[in-house]
Structure 1
Amino acid sequence: MNKTVDDMIEKLQKENEELKKENELLKTVIDRIHEAVYIVDQKDEIILYNTESEKMEGLDRKDLLGKKEEDVFAQPYYFSEEVTKKILKTGKSLINQPYWYNLNDGRKTNMIFSAYPFYYKGQITAVYVIFRNMNQLSDFIAITLEMQKKFFKMELSQDGAVYLLDDIISINSKMKKIKAEARKIARRNSPVIIVGETGTGKELFAQGIHNASLYSRGPFVPINCAAIPDTLLESLLFGTVKGAFTGAADMPGLFEQAEEGTIFLDEINSMSLSLQAKLLRVLQEKSVRRLGSKDRIPLHCRVISAANMDPIEAVKEQIMRSDLYFRLATITLNIPPLRERKEDIEVLARHFIKKYNHQFGLFVKDISEEVISFFEQYDWPGNVRELENFIEGAMNFIHSKEKMLQLDHVPEYFEERLFLLKLKKDPQNNTDYQYHKKAIHNGTLQDALLETEKTIIESTLMRNKGNISRSAKVLGISRQNLHYKLKALGITNKEL
């Protein structure tokens, strides 16, 4: 008899423990979802208030649980009478209803809610409400659209923006922080200016912001303000009407073409001051007037701009209007040059090798330590774009069976840069380097050509450890011809 009672007690304890575990699990899940959830019982007392509710309303659940709604929320408070108490009486749900009210700190919040009765043993014992702040809803939609673009990336080319923020490759802590900031600001419509040297990836960031925003359904319309004459740029930006000037036709400008999307104004600091004044008016009035027209057309697009120099300096030098800068620079992203994040060089080089493996049908799996060493010593004035161009050039010299990118594959134009860099770094060769500079800058054309030829031959011999046959093959000349050039140029192979 005692054993039976003990077994029953043990069974009840296990069941009770399982219920506690299930209850904790459900509470944890409710705290992790993106919707705000709270529950009131039949006495209209709050019995559950999740983390998202705390975030949305700026309250702490410890101050709410067990209390009536009207006792904890800012007055006047009508939600209890209009929703929860009403559902407790009628048992009818309310689905996807808009609602607004004032938070305890005085701010107005807009939300969409659904409220449902909870039945236990045939009786309504509680009402649970699920709601979402409209601003948070915008964030959720932006995240969803960006994820959709990841899944269906082939569709990106239709609107001109093919890159996502995740496509920006970097292990540098500063770049990671900038990417995180870009993702946050993407979900709003504030103007952004991206500052960085040529080749740092400003347009990649612009496309990434576009694709992570609510404007990603619309087009991405880029224009380089430095590449187009002012007279043409004005008509391209603002559009024209027939008869505005000889040959003019009815044509929407790029601002109109970017409707519900993003316009990207690259190298904005290159735009003339007079055109900057016209652009400022468009941004202030959020409308555009085509050349030759009296009518203004409302604009609904996001503006992202970029500058290849510090905008503050551009303002000081009167290259850029201060009022335009402050209008464009609600948010500023400063992209560091490659020389300031050299830990990214190898990562990017390997990425570009994979890219050109695919394009050229090659199977390169590695890059030599010597090449990486040169890369990390070089300053890369052309930044990531220059690095990619170099990798593409080197991949053109790789045979289909080769598995490693080495100095043998370096294009000639870059070969001299690397060799001169080595001379700079090596104090023993400083005299040779200074002589080389003098020959090029102060000598005749023939002197410069001979000195350049000597430099390239010495570099090739050095890389091939003095092997004449291999060096001749790399240089594309016969072994006999190389011996002749060594003698003519006074190159002693024993030191290489």
Structure 2
Amino acid sequence: MPSYKDSHNTPFISSMYRKLLDYLDIGIHMVNAEGRSIIYNRKMSEMEDMNPEEVLNKKIMDIFLFESEEESRLLQALYKDKLHKDAKQVYFNFKGQEITTVNNTFPLTVDGEKIGAVEIARDITKLERLSRETSRGANEARFTFDQIIGESKPIIDVVENARRATRTASSVLIYGETGTGKELFAQSIHNGSTRASKPFISQNCAALPDTLIEGILFGSVKGAFTGATDHPGLFEQAHLGTLMLDEINSLSASLQAKLLRAIQEKSIRRIGDTKNRQVDVRIIATMNEDPVRALETNQLREDLYYRLSVVSIMIPPLRYRKDDLIILIAHFIRKYNRLFQMNVPKVTDDVLALFNTYDWPGNVRELEHVIEGAMNLIYDDEPIAYQHLPLHMKHKFSLSQDNGAYEEPSSLPASLPDQPLQEYMETIEKAYLEKALHQASGNVSQAAKSLGIQRQSLQYRMKKYHLSQ
């Protein structure tokens, strides 16, 4: 039986196993009973920016800038049998580069003999950097109620309810589909309140894992985990102001419970701390789905829901406020005319008819992107027409030559084509252009006129599809 205490060339670790470890998308670092590295896979090498030759057969304290062996989870596992599960660790390699990981570290014992210790790591260095950038910059609340565009009854009603919420410091729950403008309302409530001169800080709760979000919200103290420093969380940074928590239902149940306690007691405890800190923060939570459904599917704790929904605001989707389409379209055209130095006057009547029949799953945000995209395709200061619209809208609707209204296309295949959507749409567009050119006997100007596009636009497409006159 081979000895487990040999160097990294130990026979029992075959080259096949080493290659297999290199295919894993998690970092693996193993030390033998003497504390020397015997396994250091490709992913760990990428995470720590060190070559295996710089690590293998070397002792941990020669590789990393630890002040003592106590700071190394691997050595704690090896010498003190300490286990760490899903534990965040911040450390430095011998090049001085900061590494942040979430680790599982444990000793290895075979037949009662300790053969070493292993660390399985997930790299969160980039996420940690993102969280610091989020925490450093107190978000500016730029929007006010005057910037909410709309004159329909649904939007006027919700703006009026939101204005009333500025009079108190009660928690607010805003829910609405993606693209309806939840943060716009949150910022408007903050700017209309007595807290307007204080911080407004927002955090997307779905953007970061639980291992990071807790420290971001509540902060940490030096020694809470390896590399931890005294760091105020978002609650402390938003003191006397407003903290907006987006996609609140994405938090785990345990974090929701800690959040509820912080809101009720108006105090937080940093990770690793022994004392509570008083905070005065107004919470505005947002969700992109119906809270009732989130409760039914256990995505949202019932007690947290009742605490947050002291004031509830439901932002209507664009399909329920289509009376606002004209004013919204005009607003976005003015916006991108300024940005692009253009003078686009409007959308055509046919496009407006299409917009009125479209469901707008992406809501106001989608409308803005459609206008912006269309204006990127316009050569002259002409109205936004059908040919300027994105492919997904062209695919959904076709222009009826009889009455000028848009209808669902009747010539779609019974089954989906065996090709990507982009390729399929280009095939359809090429065939449509060929037909127009044929009917115009190769006259580009006449074909462009029949297609409702500029001559230059048709010439561009002819070159793209290698079409001859």
TM-score calculated relative to the size of structure 2:
0.62
1:474 paired with 2:457, answer: yes
Q: Which residue of 2 aligns with 1:236?
A: 216
Q: Match of 1:404?
A: 383
Which letter does structure 1 place at the counterpart of 2:383? M
Partner Cα distance (2:206, 2:428) in 1: 37
Instruction: Quote the Cα distance in structure 2 between the aligned partners of 1:461 and 1:205.
Output: 49
Of 381, 391, 408, the match for 2:361: 381
Change (3 A) 1:473 1:329: same
1:451 Cα deviation from its structure 2 partner: 4.2
Deviation, 1:468, is 2.8
Q: Which residue of 1 aligns with 2:189?
A: 209
- Preserved CA contact (<8 Å) 2:350 2:405: no
The code of the aligned residue for 2:249 comes to N
Report which of the two structures shows the higher radius of gyration computed on alpha carbons.
1
CA gap of 1:337–1:362, structure 2 versus 1, over 3 A, is same
Structure 2 residue 296 is the aligned partner of structure 1 residue 296: no
Report what 1:186 is aligned to.
166
Structure 2 portions without partners, runs of 5+: 1-136, 441-445
Alpha carbons of structure 1 residues 248 and 284: separation in structure 2 relative to 1, 3 Å:
same
Unaligned runs of 5+ in 1: 1-156, 486-496
Equivalent residue, structure 1, for 2:346: 366
**CA deviation string 1:109-139 (max 9, x = no partner):** xxxxxxxxxxxxxxxxxxxxxxxxxxxxxxx
Which residue of 409, 419, 422 maps to 1:445?
Answer: 419
Q: What does 1:89-488 align with in structure 2 at a 5 Å threshold? A: 160-399=140-379, 401-419=380-398, 426=407, 429-430=409-410, 432-433=411-412, 435=413, 438-440=415-417, 444-445=418-419, 451-457=424-430, 467-469=446-448, 473-474=456-457, 476-478=460-462
**Aligned residues, how many?**
320
What is the rounded CA distance, in whole Å, between the counterparts of 1:420 and 1:403 in structure 2?
19
TM-score normalized with structure 1 length: 0.59
Distance 1:480 1:335 in 2: 43
CA distance in 2, matches of 1:158, 1:319: 28
Alpha-carbon deviation of 1:455?
3.1
The Cα offsets for residues 332-372 of structure 1, whole Å up to 9 and x where unpaired, read as 00111111111112211110111111111111222211111
Partner SS, residue 392 of structure 1 = helix
Distance 1:334 1:421 in 2: 37
Give the counterpart letter for 1:364 in structure 2: V
- How far apart are the structure 2 equivalents of 1:248 and 1:408? 56
Shift of 1:483: 6.0
Corresponding letter in the other structure for 1:410: L
Which protein, 1 or 2, shows the higher relative CO under an 8 Å CA cutoff with sep ≥ 6? 2
RMSD: 3.1
CA distance in 2 between counterparts of 1:184 and 1:371 reads 37
- Letter of the structure 1 residue corresponding to residue 394 of structure 2: E
Cα contact 1:408–1:474 (8 A) shared by 2: no
| 2:461 counterpart SS class | coil
Give the number of the structure whose residues are more often helix, by fraction.
1
Does the Cα contact within 8 Å between 2:141 and 2:190 map onto a contact in 1? Answer: yes
Separation in 2, partners of 1:341, 1:379: 11
Work out whether residues 241 and 251 of structure 1, in 8 Å CA contact, stay in contact via their aligned partners in 2.
Answer: yes
Q: Deviations over 1:306-331 (max 9, x none)?
A: 11111111111111100000000001
* CA distance in structure 1 between the aligned counterparts of 2:288 and 2:383, rounded to whole angstroms: 35
Structure 1's 426 and 182: CA in aligned 2 closer, same or farther, altered over 3 A? closer
Q: Distance in 2 between matches of 1:308 and 1:463?
A: 45
Assess if the C-alpha contact under 8 Å between 2:205 and 2:245 holds in 1: yes
Deviations 1:239-271 (A, max 9, x none): 111111122111110111111110001111111
